[in-house]
Amino acid sequence: MNSVNTPSSIRVLDDRTAQVWEKGSGKEFVCDKKSAAGSVTQRACAFCGSRVVLYPIADALHIVHGPIGCAVYNWDIRGSLSSGSQLNRNSFSTDLAEKEVIFGGEKKLKASLIELINFYKPKAAFVYSTCIVGLIGDDVEAVCKQVTKETGIQCIQVDSPGFKGTKKSGYQAACEAAYKLVGTGDTSNISKYSINLLGEFNIAGEAWMIRQYFEKIGIEVVSTITGDGRVDDLRRCHGAKLNLVQCSGSMTHLSKLLKDDYDIPMERVSFFGFEDTARAIYTAAEHFGDPELMRRAEELVREEISKYAPKLKQYKKRLKGKKAALYVGGAFKAFSLVLALRALGMKTVLAGTQTGSAEDYEQLKEICDPGTVIVDDSNPLELAKFVLEKDVDLFIGGVKERPIAFKLGVAFCDHNHERKIPLAGFEGMVHFAEEVANSACSPIWQFAPRRQAKALRLPEAEATTPLAREEGGAA
């Protein structure tokens, strides 16, 4: 039998033991490596990384050059909203067939691009190379050049075959591609107090909320880059005076390019939770060194917090003392979540990410409580192990983590790019608290077999343990 009653009967793979760390253990921690074969990683591939980052550029054409699977699994899955064009919500693909795999797909790509550009009149086109294209060696760059010349619409290759590095390499490819647009627009009337927001994907309209904060205090938002993104905004984003980077995993490379070529400084920020949102606004205001700006920032934060803090109180009362597990894409997000959960009186007992960097994890280690497990590039079995081991009340993750929690009678909060509820900013924090409370305090958990056995002290709860241990030993 394949069932597990004790967390100890799930073993962490030898290849991965250095990627699991417990605060207080003093052990070394390793991250930033490719996933072990057969480990059932929660990560996707380089192609996925590039596709998700560029997806919200709404008035560009996005075409996946490859067999159909890669395009189809990405069709309109993100919760990123656009205030106008909806072109990005389509799934375009060259849908390569066997004959093109043998004889090359350049002709089909060219024909597809020209037809789609004539029909949809995009502002630019992104062409994503998948595994097969990387392999058969189609000269995508040359096709892009030709089509750009023939149509006048800039076609940009996104060099992201799935096998090329990790999901992070896909982020890098996306930044390189987006950067090809930068520097080609007019920047003459951009304010001296101006910013770009990088790595804010406008999930359920979050970028709109954040943009308002800055506009209210007198800072111009030149581009949200990939949140409600527009080609023309990208073309002129080099005119902004400061870059605020939210999702550092995906956008650090672009901000670095902007720093190197245009000398635009960057600050890492987060808009998740009261504390981090306020800090982000202050960071921008401080940067420009105008006391009036700072005064308005303080006023805004005060107003917003006084509006939403009372609403949080009721949730806090219900959630106090509960234990949470996190498994998210990037570590910076985890960092914010730990603080936000703490603000709700909850304790984070597991903090894991798919693609955190060493620097990110250092910060994460610092803010976590002793005993907290930190894990890099985990998999469903390990996550289940930690849920059991730490006896968590709430899991925060994405679609792939959801069934792990639910099967074990644990509440769940969706915090990836597919969600449709804005969780960022001051108002978002109330949504977050509401979602967490609605799941964690739902009466349904009393019926979950795992909880029931414990609550009723059913004999099976203890009786099965030695057996499971035996199985674990045999494994």
Q: Rule CB under 8 A: which of 346-375 touch other proteins?
A: none
User: Which CB atom, from 73 or from 261, has the smaller least distance to other proteins?
Assistant: 73
Does 144 contact other proteins by CB under 8 A?
A: no
- Cα–Cα distance measured from residue 440 to residue 344, given in angstroms and rounded to the nearest whole number: 12
Among 3, 149, 188, 189, binds other proteins (CB under 8 A): 3
Does 75 contact other proteins by CB under 8 A?
A: yes
User: Token match 């949102």: residue?
Assistant: 277
Q: E strands, 7-123, where? A: 20-22, 60-65, 92-93
Task: Choose the stretch contacting other proteins; rule: CB under 8 A; options: 162-170, 178-186, 257-265, 338-346.
Answer: 162-170
Among 18, 29, 120, 287, binds other proteins (CB under 8 A): 120
User: Token match 């630019």: residue?
Assistant: 124
Among 31, 53, 116, 436, binds other proteins (CB under 8 A): 116
Does 86 contact other proteins by CB under 8 A?
A: yes
Give the nearest distance from C-beta 446 to other proteins in angstroms: 12
Does 135 contact other proteins by CB under 8 A?
A: yes
Query: Cβ neighbours of residue 151 under 8 Å, at least 6 residues apart?
Result: 113, 114, 117, 118
Among 362, 407, 446, 455, binds other proteins (CB under 8 A): 407
- Helix, strand, or coil here: 248? helix
Query: What does DSSP say about strands 394-397 and 373-376: parallel, antiparallel, or unpaired?
Result: unpaired
In the window 172-231, what residues touch other proteins (CB under 8 A)? 205, 208
- Which region, left, alpha or beta, applies to residue 328 given φ > 0 means left and ψ of -120 to 50 means alpha? beta
Residue closest to 113 by CA, chosen among 71, 86, 80, 145: 145
CB-based contact 274:429 (threshold 8 Å) = yes
Does 443 contact other proteins by CB under 8 A?
A: no
| Helix locations, 199-267, DSSP H | 206-217, 231-236, 248-262
User: Which CB atom, from 91 or from 146, has the smaller least distance to other proteins?
Assistant: 91
User: Which CB atom, from 151 or from 452, has the smaller least distance to other proteins?
Assistant: 452
The number of residues in the chain equals 475
Query: Cβ neighbours of residue 196 under 8 Å, at least 6 residues apart?
Result: 221, 222, 223, 224, 225, 237, 240, 242, 243, 244, 258, 264
- Cα–Cα distance measured from residue 9 to residue 472, given in angstroms and rounded to the nearest whole number: 4
User: Which CB atom, from 104 or from 345, has the smaller least distance to other proteins?
Assistant: 104
Does 84 contact other proteins by CB under 8 A?
A: yes
Task: Choose the stretch contacting other proteins; rule: CB under 8 A; options: 90-98, 246-254, 282-290, 340-348.
Answer: 90-98
Element housing 394 (H / E): strand 394-397
Among 17, 25, 118, 306, binds other proteins (CB under 8 A): 118
Among 8, 90, 148, 283, binds other proteins (CB under 8 A): 90
Does 63 contact other proteins by CB under 8 A?
A: yes
**Rounded alpha-carbon distances, angstroms, from residue 222 to 34, 81, 244, 448:** 36, 18, 11, 50
Does 459 contact other proteins by CB under 8 A?
A: no
Does 112 contact other proteins by CB under 8 A?
A: yes
Among 279, 316, 453, 469, binds other proteins (CB under 8 A): 453
Task: Choose the stretch contacting other proteins; rule: CB under 8 A; options: 52-60, 218-226, 290-298, 331-339.
Answer: 52-60
- Cα–Cα distance measured from residue 212 to residue 365, given in angstroms and rounded to the nearest whole number: 33
Question: What is the Cα gyration radius of the chain?
Answer: 24
The CB density around residue 165, as the number of other CB atoms within 10 Å, is: 17
Does 469 contact other proteins by CB under 8 A?
A: no
Task: Choose the stretch contacting other proteins; rule: CB under 8 A; options: 235-243, 343-351, 377-385, 430-438.
Answer: 377-385
Does 396 contact other proteins by CB under 8 A?
A: no
User: Which CB atom, from 14 or from 263, has the smaller least distance to other proteins?
Assistant: 14
**Rounded alpha-carbon distances, angstroms, from residue 75 to 63, 72, 216, 428, 467:** 11, 5, 35, 26, 45
Does 447 contact other proteins by CB under 8 A?
A: yes
323-328: strand order across its sheet: 20-22, 373-376, 347-353, 323-328, 394-397, 411-414
Task: Choose the stretch contacting other proteins; rule: CB under 8 A; options: 88-96, 214-222, 269-277, 435-443.
Answer: 88-96
Does 463 contact other proteins by CB under 8 A?
A: no
User: Which CB atom, from 89 or from 431, has the smaller least distance to other proteins?
Assistant: 89
Query: What does DSSP say about strands 124-129 and 154-158: parallel, antiparallel, or unpaired?
Result: parallel
Among 25, 27, 76, 184, binds other proteins (CB under 8 A): 76
Task: Choose the stretch contacting other proteins; rule: CB under 8 A; options: 190-198, 315-323, 434-442, 453-461.
Answer: 453-461
Give the nearest distance from C-beta 141 to other proteins in angstroms: 18
Does 386 contact other proteins by CB under 8 A?
A: no
Does 163 contact other proteins by CB under 8 A?
A: yes
One-letter amino acid of 435: E
Does 339 contact other proteins by CB under 8 A?
A: no
User: Which CB atom, from 12 or from 278, has the smaller least distance to other proteins?
Assistant: 12
- Cα–Cα distance measured from residue 51 to residue 93, given in angstroms and rounded to the nearest whole number: 13
User: Which CB atom, from 275 or from 427, has the smaller least distance to other proteins?
Assistant: 427
